[in-house]
Amino acid sequence: MPVLAVAGAFLHSNTSIGEQLAKRLPGWSVVKSTDEAARAAEVAVCWNQPPGTWEHLRAVRMAHSIGAGVDHLLGDPALPDVPVCRVIDDDLARRMAEYVLWCTLYYHRGFDIVARNQREKIWQRPPNRLAGQVSVGVMGLGQIGAHLATTLRDAGYDVRGWSRSGKPIDGVRVHGGDAGLGAFLGELEILVCMLPLTSETTGILGHELFARLRPGAKLVHCGRGPQLREQDLVAALDAGQLGGAIVDVFDQEPLPPDNALWAHPKVMVTPHMAAVMPIPEVVNQIAENCERLLANAPLLRVVERAAGY
């Protein structure tokens, strides 16, 4: 009987993932990665797997993420030379667009100001501007980022975009490459980070980038946790260079109780909820690749390691 090992800290419980995989793969033995039986595992299903995982799982032939992100796998120096697969949500772009549109409205219509005024019992209307008077920039224009940009465009916002290639999008002012980054950042009231995690984007949301934004700009971060330098964010908020931040992804998840972002008055913490794929669909995609592995059929949604996605 083939063995599948579940490793790491999941957004949903390990037990739920394991139980559903066991039901979907009745011919497999589904165990925790720390169990003795996991030494025979051909598949490792992972999310933030702990150090030492691969020393125990030496028979693995495929490593599978439960999310679209794979930086927790590719960033592990002990990861064996096996195919790395991920799950892809066909509705991911729509879910992400809903979240980003809400964040944009939150700042555009001054709900951050209203929330602060309520705590202080102040009755005062925030500015009421048309969407076209608000400049919103999407940093990262892949499939999802481009969808976000067009969703914001269709909602009437003054949308700017930035990507390495600078590939044009109708109705969006797109900047490209290092040469276009400064002009892109300097125009924005709201910056949305949707970059993939690479060696170049790790730590990109830091002091140098914040200094290039218009003073008082707001940040919406739903890219990857390691892209944000949290201490630099706090410093920029305290200095007034940034006027607020909504942060959905973090270098350490769950966010520790003593993290300064929890209590910062200009920060809204959301628990990695911008686009959560339903667990039954996650299970189905993982199970499909497990079946393909045993049948020696081509695997689906395989990650190109050099690109990082």
Domain spanning 3-89+277-294 has what CATH number?
3.40.50.720
Picking from 238, 179, 155, the residue whose alpha carbon sits closest to that of residue 192 is 155
Catalytic residue among 160, 224, 229, 264: 224
The answer, yes or no, to whether residue 13 has pLDDT greater than 80, is: no
Strand (E) or helix (H) holding 219: strand 217-221
What is the CATH architecture of 92-269? 3-Layer(aba) Sandwich (3.40)
Catalytic residue among 272, 292, 301, 305: 272
The pLDDT assigned to 89 comes to 85
Please say if 173 is a catalytic residue: no
pLDDT tens, 97-118? 999 999 999 999 999 999 999 9
Give CA separation, 136 vs 160, 194, 222, 249, 300, in Å: 6, 13, 15, 20, 35
Segment 256-279 shows an average pLDDT of 95
* Domain definitions of the chain by residue range: 3-89+277-294, 92-269
Positive/negative CA dihedral, 240, 242, 243, 245: negative
pLDDT tens, 150-170? 999 999 999 999 999 999 999
pLDDT tier at 11 (50, 70, 90 boundaries)? very low
The pLDDT assigned to 68 comes to 82
Q: How many CA atoms lie within 13 A of 58 on its CB side?
A: 4
- The answer to whether the beta carbons of residues 5 and 41 sit under 8 Å apart is yes
pTM for the structure as a whole: 0.82
The pLDDT assigned to 288 comes to 98
The answer, yes or no, to whether residue 214 has pLDDT greater than 90, is: yes
Please say if 12 is a catalytic residue: no
The pLDDT assigned to 188 comes to 98
pLDDT tier at 10 (50, 70, 90 boundaries)? low
CB contact set of 39 (below 8 Å; sequence gap of 6+) = 56, 57, 58, 59
The answer, yes or no, to whether residue 12 has pLDDT greater than 50, is: no
| Percent above pLDDT 90 for the chain | 84
pLDDT tens, 27-75? 999 999 999 999 999 999 998 899 999 999 999 999 999 988 888 899 8
pLDDT tier at 309 (50, 70, 90 boundaries)? confident
Q: 92-269: same fold as 3-89+277-294?
A: yes
The pLDDT assigned to 215 comes to 97
